[in-house]
Amino acid sequence: MKNRPMLAALVLVALGVVIGAAIVSFFGEDGITSAFAQVRKRIELGSGQPPVKIESSAQVLNNAFVAVSKAVNPSVVTIAVVTERKADPRMKQFEDFFGFRFFGPNQRGQRGQPQQQPEEQDDEEQQGFRSQGSGSGVILTGDGFIVTNNHVIEDAKDITVTTFDGHELKAKLIGRDELTDLAVIKVEPKSGITLTPSFVGNSDEVQVGEWVVAVGNPFGTLQSTITAGIVSAKGRGLSGRGGYNVENYIQTDAAINPGNSGGGLFNLEGKLIGINTAIATRTGAFQGYGFAIPVNLMRSVVEDLLDDGKINRGYIGVQITSVNEATAKAVGLDKISGVMVQEVMKNSAGKAAGLQEGDVILEVDGVPVKTSNELQSLVSMRRAGDNVNLAVWRDGKRITKTVTLKARDDEKEIVAEAGRPSTPADKEQDNAPIKFDNLGFTVEPLTGAQRKELDISSGVVISKVTPYGEAAKIGLRPGAVILKADKQLVQSAKQFQDILTAKRGQAVLLQVKDGSVVRLVGLEVPRQDG
């Protein structure tokens, strides 16, 4: 009985030997190896090696994107807000007309749709509606200061920040600036949580064509999304916002969508160069171009807000437009550059410094300016009380004006500086309408009713404008009044014709009153005109 287990074991061993010998005799040693190899081969997927060997230069670029993504992701946070506001149709009208989208809390996908409050809410809450939305922000300091867009946190009742590694922190508003669309919020880091601030670069060094990555939280759900592109342009202004808004955007084709607002635009060194703000779109989503606030402008705003929670921005107190080719010729500039002073405000810093309408501002503290939004941006980085040196083109000469900037509160109504002549009415023989065929417009003398209505004593009214003609191209419209030509007060249609005749083959500067707006425009006069 005790030997039975041993006997059974011996029988099993003998059986295994017999079966193994049978297999070897049937397949042979090579046959067994081949059979197992075939099994292994059947479970291998794809080809044995990649079809293309990547060049070392391409691998370097690939590694650069990987490295910058790892480096900057922790410095960008998700911002969730609960807001209460009344519907504002003005922003939608602007977006529909101009095709630009500034993502407010109620414009960021499903989470941003307005939700009515229950009837039991108090009267104050029932005046508006509550909604949830999300945006992005960039950590600036290790102790919790974060920059974002003003439109992300505007009207927020509650602000929650989610870090890259998933920690949720309550935030409070430190200050905001509507004119640059920037705001600063503050979180209190919990024990064991480390905040990673970004490295703030210098947006003046940004070059068109360089690679950039945009980091943010598109659609409120895709946290820590990175998209890549290039800098498409610098110094962009989004026409239509008007007023004192400071717009000097970096344009990029890196994909930016609702929820990216307030996130960072970084170069391949991981330097923060912009705060993502808006997109050009007709669909509400990305269509190829986004816009970021340059960090140099962001830095000046944030420093002001951290100082005392408000902006102490300085102003020159002028209305300006960019110089085009015709205007440059009209004032005698040898290249298209600078911004033209259209109007000077009463009691403004510019008025005190002696700026005049028709001046062309070429530089601010030695920095050349080519567009009106560049000038706005440079001046907005100074504070009230600061002195700025302006290089000005006037009467064919370059002069310097030192302006002590004032706060906007010191500036009152805008008043046109057009001269009010004391000369008598047009002579009888000068009262016939005159048509300028090659320029595409007709002028007529002012009637007594027009003089009274417009509160002017001289000028000629534009009665007709040919579509697509030269006059139409520079924005002249029927009903507008030409007050000056070549810096001369226009007393009659005949006198105006004489001025243009003398400027054949050149450009002439016109002062035009269109409604309540007075502006200067350059008009190129052909060598022959009717």
The C-alpha atoms of residue 259 and residue 33 are separated, in whole angstroms, by: 59
In the prediction, which pLDDT does 372 show?
A: 85
Distances (CA, A) of 523 to 130, 291, 436, 520: 52, 32, 12, 10
Q: Is the pLDDT of residue 425 over 70?
A: no
- Here the CATH number for the domain that contains residue 379 is 2.30.42.10
Residue 529 inside a domain? The answer is no
Of 177, 181, 359, 426, which is the active-site residue?
181
CB-CB contact of 213 with 230 (8 Å): no
Which pLDDT band holds residue 487 (cuts at 50, 70, 90)? confident
Does residue 144 lie within any of the structural domains?
yes
List of E strands, 163-308: 168-177, 182-187, 199-200, 211-216, 225-236, 249-252, 264-267, 271-280, 289-294
The pTM of the whole model exceeds 0.75: no
What mean pLDDT is predicted for residues 191-199?
Answer: 91
Q: For 178-215, b where at least 16 C-beta lie within 10 A, e where not — what string?
A: ebbbbbbbbbeeeeeeebbbbebbebeebeeeebbbbb
Q: Could you say which of 134, 232, 261, 492 is catalytic?
A: 261
Is residue 88 domain-shared with residue 189, that is, in the same domain?
Answer: yes
Residue whose token pair is 């005790």: 2
Contact 349, 380 (CB under 8 A): no
Residue 269 lies in a domain: yes
pLDDT of residue 167: 92
Greater pLDDT, 442 or 94: 442
The three-state secondary structure class of 65 is: helix
Q: Is 94 in the same domain as 224?
A: yes
**167 flagged as catalytic:** no
What would the pLDDT profile of 11-60 be if each residue is shown by its tens digit? 666 676 666 666 656 555 565 555 555 555 577 788 878 888 888 888 89
What is the reported pLDDT for 119?
33
Among 461, 466, 476, 456, CA closest to 431 = 461
**For residue 96, is pLDDT > 90?**
no
Residue 337 known to be catalytic = no
Q: What is the pLDDT of residues 350-381, one digit of tens each?
A: 999 999 999 999 999 999 998 888 888 888 88
Flag whether 54 is in a domain: no
Residue 445: which domain range?
428-524
Residue 476 belongs to a domain: yes
Q: Please give the Cα distance from 80 to 153 (Å, whole number).
A: 9
CA distances from 479 to 430, 447, 492, 505, 515 (A): 19, 12, 16, 27, 8
> Average pLDDT over the chain, rounded to whole?
80
Domain boundary among 253, 277, 311: 311
Residue 468 and residue 440 share a domain: yes
More confident residue, 178 or 90: 178
Active site residue 47: no
CATH (domain of 86)? 2.40.10.120
For the chain, count helices (H), then strands (E).
12, 28
Region 313-329: what's the mean pLDDT?
89
Of 288, 293, 289, the closest CA to residue 272 belongs to 293
Q: Pull the structure tokens for residue 339.
A: 């911004």
Domain count, the chain: 3
**Are residues 377 and 278 both part of a single domain?**
no
Q: Residues 506, 522: contact at Cβ < 8 Å?
A: no
Task: Answer with the residue of higher pLDDT: 113 or 22.
Answer: 22
pLDDT score, position 41: 56
